[in-house]
Amino acid sequence: MVTPMKNRPYILSESNWKDIKTQPIDLVVLPWGATEAHNYHLPYGTDNYQVEAIAAEAGRIAYEEGSRVMILPVVPFGVNTGQADIRLDMNMNPSTQLSVLRDLIEVLDRQGFRKLLVLNGHGGNDFKPILRELGLEFPGIYLALCDWFRVPKKEKLFEKPGDHADEMETSLMMYLHGDLVRPLEESGNGHTRQSVVTGIREGWAWSERTWSQVTEDTGTGDPSRSTVVKGERVFREVTEKIGSLMSELCQLDLNRQYE
């Protein structure tokens, strides 16, 4: 039996022309992920599943508060320039992301949409310089960015620090898609080698990491203390905050952005 479709008029993929033709929309949201290895226990689509679920739930919260929000489908490829030798990590270059975003913003701008939020779910995607450039090109549309993984207070919710296929991502996937998570005994420990350069190690200098030299199992961060409960907790915290962000952006008077 086919499960009946939930009524989610704020999800573009599930909407039809009859609805969309006249539906008032104040904010369009574009979720953006990546397709990449996540240690031995999480699927390649982890970033996409996460950002899609977060966008949908935050959208529901905003919509039910009366906000006129519309969530676009997730863009599934991200910047994986440091993982060139990791099998089937599907890189999309920053310059390609600029082109993709320009095309999508051009559609919105031409059709009179005035606000876009890019909801990013992958650390390698750096949309700030791209949105600065497109902001100059399209002064009539307000462009905002949120990296969802910066929203939660990780040190409060999680025991082991990390940033890729770590305790947070693993817990969240256990909650969202437990069927796609391998038993934790099968995961690597996510051990991360540090740079020999002091400034890079301390975080005030940067160079692209050659992922295959930094970690054996492609994870950075120990996933062993992950639980469904932690996953639900972080999902609630993130979606409530991003739901409020969406509502605030919907209401934002573009002529009075500062007080």
The contact set with Zn ion (CB under 5 A) reads 46-47
**Residue 257: partners with Cβ closer than 8 Å, 6 or more residues away:** none
Closest separation in Å from C-beta 157 to Zn ion: 16
Cβ(10)–Cβ(73) below 8 Å: no
Closest separation in Å from C-beta 230 to Zn ion: 16
Closest separation in Å from C-beta 56 to Zn ion: 18
Residue 57 or 89 having the CB closest to Zn ion: 89
Residue 37 or 116 having the CB closest to Zn ion: 37
Cβ(86)–Cβ(218) below 8 Å: yes
CA distances for 150 relative to 2, 99, 157, angstroms: 37, 25, 13
Closest separation in Å from C-beta 120 to Zn ion: 11
Residue 62 or 173 having the CB closest to Zn ion: 173
Cβ(16)–Cβ(201) below 8 Å: no
Q: Which residue is nearest to Zn ion (CB)?
A: 47
Rounded CA separation 257/169 (Å): 34
Residue 109 or 216 having the CB closest to Zn ion: 216
